[in-house]
Amino acid sequence: MKIKIINKSDHQLPHYETPASAGMDLRANIKESITLKSLERTIVPTGLFIELPIGYEAQVRPRSGLAAKKGITVLNAPGTIDADYRGEVGVILVNLSTDDFTIENGERIAQMVIAKHERAEWVQTEALSETDRGSGGFGSTGVQ
């Protein structure tokens, strides 16, 4: 699948690191480093602008290494970039650790997954089909 992209950053285009990778790393495109204190959030620009085909979205997800080692994650994970959005791809990062975290220009801050999606059409009804689970949710099937 080919997707149009404008790269106004000084960095390479996002790419898959391995043949089986689902996501491509997004890099910070900033003039000065940004320090996030504990529980602070910011939108980090990437310098990327994309044109997705209708029926697809780009999902912006945390990088597992940053989350596990530094407590840095994408606040609205996964963030969705719709096919009709033409603005700059930004990443909402939050620092969930107790330590300050400094974001440098070119740092890999998130990953982007291109995903196909369906559009739903609601069919209003008075009843839903029965299942074994029924209305049980939020841990109703157990914790182990």
Instruction: Tell me the pLDDT tens digit for each residue of 93-128.
Output: 999 999 999 999 999 999 999 999 999 999 999 999
Strand 24-27 with 90-95, pairing: unpaired
The band of 143, judged by pLDDT with boundaries at 50, 70 and 90, is low
48 assigned to some structural domain:
yes
Range of the domain at 26: 4-116
Beta strands in 8-89 (DSSP E): 24-27, 34-36, 41-45, 48-51, 56-61, 72-74, 79-81
* Structural domain count, the chain: 1
Average pLDDT value over all residues in the chain: 95
Amino acid at 53: P
In a domain, 124, yes or no: no
Residue 32 lies in a domain: yes
CATH at 25: 2.70.40.10
In angstroms, the CA 12 to CA 29 distance is 11
Q: Is residue 91 part of a domain?
A: yes
Q: How far apart are CA 51 and CA 1, in angstroms?
A: 12
